[in-house]
Amino acid sequence: MTTTVEKTDSGFSDSRKTVLDETGNLLNSVDADQWNRAGAVVLGARSVFVIGNGRSGLAIQMAAMRLMHLGLPTHVAGEVTAPAIDSGDVLIAVSGSGTTASVVGAAETAKKVGASVIAVTTNWESKLAQLGDAVLILPAADKQDHSGSVTKQYAGSLFEQSVLLAFDALFEALRSNSDQTPEELWKRHANIG
């Protein structure tokens, strides 16, 4: 029993260090000016829409919640209450590979109606990046890259973690530059359900 606990403890400690080091290194490598420009696009939009699949989708939904806390009209694409996207809106489209069909399709629709697209991906050359008015590269491994050359973590974990942390950092930047108090933001927090 003691041997198992020691192995589990050591394994967790090593893995925690990997996650913290990799996300820290990745976030320190992104272009802060690009993220600031994306923040200005978000603030200038009539409404903000987000889309992503799987864990990437969950991470961008967490970002959507924070944007809603700022008082921005924010919608998760595909939810039954999400309205049509239109000119003056922005779509934040997240796909590590930049090839996820539903995400690329949403970006194409957004462009057709005159909305802006913020593409968040690992791949500059992807279809999603080509559709982006702003492209935010998170240089993590694609989930199909099992080489271990970019990350020791499984599949798209580093990308998904970085989506969450980068958008939390963007939210903090937008919040700190607003005149809203934490109490004002808290009034928008869900109070039913």
Domains and CATH numbers, the chain: 10-186 (3.40.50.10490)
The string over 124-160, giving b where at least 16 C-beta atoms fall within 10 Å of a residue's C-beta and e elsewhere, is eebbbbebbbbbbbbebbbbebeeeebbebebbbbbb
The CA angle 42-132-116, to the nearest 5 degrees, is 40
> In the block, which residue shows the tokens 């696009």?
41
Q: Which residue has the tokens 């922005």?
A: 90
Give burial (CB, 10 Å; 0-12/13-18/19+) of 6: exposed
Neighbours of 77 (CB within 10 A): 21
Q: What are phi and psi of 48, to 5 degrees?
A: -110, 130
Can you read off the two tokens belonging to residue 122? 């690992």
pLDDT tens digit at each of 193 positions of the chain: 444 545 555 689 999 999 999 999 999 999 999 999 999 999 999 999 999 999 999 999 999 999 999 999 999 999 999 999 999 999 999 999 999 999 999 999 999 999 999 999 999 999 999 999 999 999 997 777 777 778 889 889 999 999 999 999 999 999 999 999 999 999 999 999 8
pTM of this prediction?
0.92
Residues known to be catalytic? 160
- Are the CB atoms for 56 and 142 separated by under 8 Å? no
